[in-house]
Chains A and B, each alone.
Chain A
Amino acid sequence: MSDKPFSKIVLIFISALDQFLKWTALICGGATLTFMTGFSVWNVLIMRKALNAPITGAEDLLLLALVTIVALSIPLGARTGAHIEIEILESRMSVLFAKWSIIFIKALGATMLGIMGWRLWHAGGTASKFGETTQQLLISFEPFYYLLSVSTLIYALVLVLDIWQIIQAQKENQLQIGEKLL
């Protein structure tokens, strides 16, 4: 990699982004998963089956927890390489073609995600106006649209950083999530 100050700043930024995504996933993701499991079991086994008094709006809360976990997962997956690619033809490409085609593809992907993030943000702004709420507790979807929008925009940013890394060092370094189970 280049020793220029700008390069150093970008590398520090990537490293900070990795830490942010990892710890957000661990703290917020862990809390959401714990909530989903615990709350669902409490509602099903204790409230519904044992006491015959299901919690009103339990499904609403679980559904919003699902949106949250999806929003938290997508940018993490972008950095860990979780999004499935088909690499069968890569070995048959020349180095130059492989490099510039992946830059083109990542730029296209970032543009698409940028549009998606923008539209999700826009949809969030109109969610209350159109009565987009959960069914029982009538919680507005607005903040969850924003959450998905930010998640998508971070993914777009990751792709832009990937392009920078490819131009600088021919390859992108992915976030390793440590002690892998798989």
Chain B
Amino acid sequence: MISLTLIGILGLLSLFILLALRMPVALSMLSVGFVGTIIANANKYMATGMAEDQAWSRGLKVAYSNLAGETFEAASNYNLLVIPMFVLMGNLASVSGMSKDLFTAAYRWMGHLRGGLASATIAACAGFAALSGSSLASAVTMGRVALPEMKKYKYADSLATGSVAAGGTLGFLIPPSGGMIIYAVLTEQSIGRLFMAAVFPGIILTLLFVAAIYFVVIRNPSAGPRAKRFGRPERITSLWRALPIVGVVLLTIGGMYTGFFTPVEASSVGAFLTFVVAAYRQSLGWQASKAVILETMNATATVFLIIIGAFVFIPFMSLTELPTQLVAILTSLPIGSIGILLIIVLIYMFLGMFLESIAMLVLTIPVVIPIAEALGWDLIWFGIIVVIVLEMGMISPPVGINVFIVKSIARDVPMGTIFQGIWPFWFAMVAMIGLLILFPPIALYLPQAVVGG
């Protein structure tokens, strides 16, 4: 017999070995969760005096039952209906040219300022994030429209690519965010409350990104020269073109905040309205429709299999009592609650250098959430902090995914230059985390004011 804690440690170790050997994250969690459940349960039964063969047989039965039960539970979780719907909405928005309209509007209003095109990119990314919920989609779509413009006005490559890579990460924070939906489901928090909690941090982080651009161009004015100034009629026209996006966001996300729609309803209505806009603009040809369906299903596959893996892995972790032991160790440290939070944030920053954001989220939740609960942290507030740290991982060397996406668009810009350009935005995110730690109401005010409790 081995102790449950040791089984938990061995389980985590096996998980990391499988991940390092390139087993998909979901399959690694499934395998370790399944085998771990057999071993942990068998040991538990043996500890009660049950015969060895009987204990193993009972352990296997529990694991079999968990495997099928948890898989079906994850696939039939009504709250997760928002995932395919919001992904569909983002994909329809991409093909309908909404992202280009957003950038054009921001460009015409801000482009004439120093660093204005980079700021316009950030603003457009924030706007598109409210439609798509995907950081990759934001980075790709904005990269394609914004990078050529910035190149035309001789922006420094580092600032141009850095602003696209960082702006894209806003898709992970600004609702409807895929990462936040997964966090909500795995921690049993309200998706609506989490979305509300992300509004002010999303706006503040957008402003901090703009401030970071301002800081860069103050130090080096040639990094972000002024672009053409547009007249009032052109500016108004651009706003008119961007109006459908504002309309869709206001109706869906706004409807959700006012309680008119539940998150699931808002996601369907959003997908429908975006479909109407795309159809009206005649952007849904056969190729585009095919791409929308296949990409939506592709993203659904990514997210759901990982959630299924997490649904099997999390009960195993709870069974081993490893999280409880970790809580006991951490709370006994003389560093206080803030010290523990900073340690967690630093660990996330470190992991973010190597792991993909959603993978990191599902892998760490079973261990981190019991700590947060034991320390009495508000899980909505903590979720926002976690999401921002995960965003940092998307632009952190050596494997920041958004940086690779930008690199695929700006092929002539060396990787080092892109990473050099992301630092001001990385520090803006650190500042945002600091603000959230110092002033939790930034995240908590809106859900408390709207929903109460």
- Judge whether B306 and A84 touch: CB under 8 Å: yes
**Within 8 Å of chain B (Cβ to Cβ): is A51?**
no
The residue of chain A having its C-beta at the shortest distance from the C-beta of B355 within the complex is A86
A-contacting 9-mer, from B77-85, B102-110, B176-184: B77-85
Instruction: From known contacts A67-B75, A102-B22, infer whether A108 and B31 are also in contact, taking CB-CB under 8 Å.
Output: yes
Residues facing A in B272-307 (CB within 8 A) are 272, 275, 287-302, 304-306
- B residues near A67, Cβ cutoff 8 Å: 72, 75-76
- Judge whether B356 and A119 touch: CB under 8 Å: no
The residue of chain B having its C-beta at the shortest distance from the C-beta of A59 within the complex is B78
The CA of A179 and the CA of B18, in the complex, are separated in Å by 33
Q: How many residues of B contact A (CB 8 A)?
A: 69
Partner of A102, one of B21, B31, B88: B21
Residues facing A in B372-417 (CB within 8 A) are 398-399
Give the A-B pair count, Cβ closer than 8 A: 207
- Judge whether B22 and A119 touch: CB under 8 Å: no
Instruction: From known contacts A41-B268, A112-B31, A177-B291, infer whether A122 and B68 are also in contact, taking CB-CB under 8 Å.
Output: yes
- A residues near B19, Cβ cutoff 8 Å: 86
**Within 8 Å of chain B (Cβ to Cβ): is A143?**
no
- B residues near A181, Cβ cutoff 8 Å: 91, 94-95, 137, 140, 291-292, 295
Instruction: From known contacts A101-B22, A177-B295, infer whether A37 and B300 are also in contact, taking CB-CB under 8 Å.
Output: no
User: From residue A113, how far is it (CB to closest CB) to chain B in Å?
Assistant: 7
Partner of A25, one of B24, B75, B293: B293
**Within 8 Å of chain A (Cβ to Cβ): is B67?**
yes
- A residues near B294, Cβ cutoff 8 Å: 22, 25-26, 29, 76, 80, 177-178
A76-107 vs B: 1/0 string, CB under 8 Å? Answer: 11101011111111100000000001101100
The residue of chain A having its C-beta at the shortest distance from the C-beta of B362 within the complex is A84
Residues facing B in A13-38 (CB within 8 A) are 22, 25-26, 29-30, 33, 36-38
User: From residue A122, how far is it (CB to closest CB) to chain B in Å?
Assistant: 7
The CA of A179 and the CA of B295, in the complex, are separated in Å by 9
- Judge whether A66 and B140 touch: CB under 8 Å: no
- Judge whether A66 and B297 touch: CB under 8 Å: no
Main SS of the interface on chain A? helix
- A residues near B80, Cβ cutoff 8 Å: 66
The CA of A182 and the CA of B363, in the complex, are separated in Å by 25
Chain A interface: which size bin? 35 or more
- Which of B80, B275, B292, B302 has most A Cβ within 10 Å? B302
**Within 8 Å of chain B (Cβ to Cβ): is A161?**
no
The residue of chain B having its C-beta at the shortest distance from the C-beta of A109 within the complex is B27
The CA of A74 and the CA of B299, in the complex, are separated in Å by 10
- B residues near A69, Cβ cutoff 8 Å: 84, 297, 300
- A residues near B136, Cβ cutoff 8 Å: 182
The residue of chain B having its C-beta at the shortest distance from the C-beta of A179 within the complex is B291
**Within 8 Å of chain B (Cβ to Cβ): is A160?**
no
- Judge whether A179 and B355 touch: CB under 8 Å: no
Q: Which residues of B contact A (CB under 8 A)?
A: 18-27, 30-31, 34, 64, 67-69, 71-72, 75-78, 80-81, 84-85, 88, 91, 94-95, 136-137, 140, 260-261, 264-265, 268-269, 271-272, 275, 287-302, 304-306, 354-356, 358-359, 398-399
A-B interface, 5 closest residue pairs, ranked by CB to CB distance from nearest:
A77-B301, A40-B268, A123-B68, A73-B301, A83-B24
